[in-house]
Amino acid sequence: MSICGAYILPSENPSCQILHSLRKFFRIDIIKHAMQLSRDNGRKNYAFYISRFMTEFEMQTRLVTQFQKLYPSAVQILISMEGEVPEMEFASGNSIVINGNQYSPTEILQQIDFALMAYADRKLEEESGNTKVPPIVGESPQLKETIRKAKRMAIQSQPVLITGDTGTGKDVFARFIHFSGTRNKGPFIPVNCTTIPHDLFESQFFGHRKGSFTGADKPNRGLFVEAQSGTIVLDEIGDLNLDMQVKLLRAIENQEIMPVGSSRPVKTDVRVLALTNRDLTVQMERGRFRHDLFYRLNRHHLHISPLSERPQDIVALFEHILDRSWYSLRHNWRNCVDEQVFDLLQTLVFPGNVRDIQNFAFHLLDMVTPSTPEIGLESASRIVEELGLQNRDAAQSNSSDLRTSLFNYERELITNALTHTGGNVARAAKQLGIARQNLQQRMRKLHLFREEQWLK
C-alpha cells in the first residue's frame, strides 16, 4: 500500500495539475465535505494533507479544522497561488507552504518528500522516547541466550559487567536490564567515563559542597546521588585510570560516597552496570585495571556476541532500522527492497556491528524518497563499495592471513629474546617488557615452551 494523503477541495476541480502529478506516487483521497471525515473518524492512516489558502471559504476552514483534530500528526501542505496570502491561524504546527506558481509539480513533489521524511523522524523520535524497554532485534540462538541472561540479571541488584565489541549494543542491554528490573521506576544515569576529567572525577561522581574548590560556585549532588534508587551505567569502564578506579571501588564497596568538601559520608542505593569493549583480564595482566574492582563489577557478566558470530541477525537488524525511519510510512515497504539486497547483506562483514548496518541503511535511505522508494541491488552495491565493506569469505581469508603473520611475528620475537638471554625466561620477559607468567603463557600458546630448552 502506498503512502496515503488527503486533498481538501470543497470547491475546486480535483483534476488540477498538482493533484494529477502527486497521484502517480501517493494514494490521495479527495475530501469535499464533512460527512467523509465523520465516516472516517480518524481511522485512515493519513501521513499528509493538502489544502489551499482559501480561508474566505467557510467550508474550507471548517474541513481543515476538523481534519486537524482527527489527524493531528499529519503534515499540512499549504499551496498558495498568485495573490493569496497565508493565514497563520490556518496553519498547523507542522506545515509547509508551497507557492504553486513558483514551483513545478516535480519541485512540489520534492518538497512533500522532505516534509514527510522530517515528519516520520519526529514521530519515531517521540515514540522511542515513550518506550523505555528497548527492543532487542534478532533470532539467533546466541542472542536469545543473551536476552535470557539479561532478564535474570534484571531482577537482581548486584553489579553487571557488560562486554562486547564496539557497536554490539551494550548500551541497549544496559537499558533493557534497568527498565525490565525492579529499579525501573528509579533514575537511569548513563555516564561515559572517558569524558570525565581526572581532576573533576570526585566532584562529578560524588558531588561537592559550595566553595569546596575554585569554581565551585554552587553545590553539586553528584552522579551517584542522582542515580539513587536507580542505576548508573559506567560506559568505557576500561579506560578509567588507576586513581579513579580506587575511588570508584570504595564507593561501590561501602555503598557510600564522600562529597568534595564534606566531612559526612552519604549513603547510596545504586545499581552499577559497567560497559567495556576491552578485555579487562588483559588489562589486569598489564597492570592497567585493578583486580578488586574487576571482581566487584563482575558479580554478573553479560557478553554480547559480535554479528560475525550471529550473521542470521543481520537482515532482521536492517529491516528494523528501515522500519524505524521514514520508510515505515509505506505499509508494504519491504516490497520496495529488491530481494537481492537482503541476499547481499548476508554475505557481508560488519566489523562495527549494528553501527555499520545503521550506516549502510542510512546511506541507502539518502538515495531514495517517499515518492521513489525502490532500493535495488545496484544502489546497495554502490554503498558497499563506498563504505569499504567486505565479503565474508574474503574477510575470513584476510583474517586468517593476518593471524598467521601475527603468530609467526610473535613467535620470532619471543624466540629472539630467549636466544639473546641464553634461554632465561625471566630475563627475556624483562627485555620484552612483560611479566614472566605472561611470557610463559604466550610460549605455551606459541608451542615454544620446552622446559629442557628454556631456563626458568
Q: Tell me whether strands 75-80 and 27-31 are parallel, antiparallel or unpaired.
A: unpaired
Alpha carbon 351 to chain centroid, angstroms: 15
Contact between residue 192 and residue 236 where contact means Cβ atoms under 8 Å apart: yes
Q: CATH number for 310-388: choose from 2.60.40, 2.60.120, 1.10.8, 1.10.10.
A: 1.10.8
Contact between residue 232 and residue 192 where contact means Cβ atoms under 8 Å apart: no
* pLDDT of res. 57: 59
4-130 is classed CATH 3.40.220.10: no
Find, among 311, 373, 368, 372, the residue nearest to 344 by Cα. 311
* pLDDT of res. 449: 56
* pLDDT of res. 203: 92
CATH number for the domain formed by residue range(s) 397-445: 1.10.10
* pLDDT of res. 386: 92
Which residue numbers in the chain have pLDDT < 50?
1, 15, 55, 85-91, 395, 399, 451-452, 455-456
**Where are the domains positioned within the chain?**
4-130, 141-305, 310-388, 397-445
Instruction: Name the β-bridge partners of 375.
Output: 337
Distance CA 48, CA 324 (A): 19
Distance CA 349, CA 359 (A): 13
The mean of the pLDDT values for the chain is 83
Q: Do domains 4-130 and 141-305 have the same CATH topology?
A: yes
* pLDDT of res. 404: 67
* pLDDT of res. 403: 65
Alpha carbon 151 to chain centroid, angstroms: 20
* pLDDT of res. 88: 41
Contact between residue 127 and residue 239 where contact means Cβ atoms under 8 Å apart: no
141-305 is classed CATH 3.40.50.1370: no
* pLDDT of res. 85: 46
The number of beta carbons lying within 10 Å of the beta carbon of residue 226 is 15
Distance CA 354, CA 386 (A): 18
pLDDT in tens, 37-91: 777 776 777 888 877 655 455 676 778 888 888 888 788 887 765 555 444 444 4
Q: Tell me whether strands 46-52 and 75-80 are parallel, antiparallel or unpaired.
A: parallel
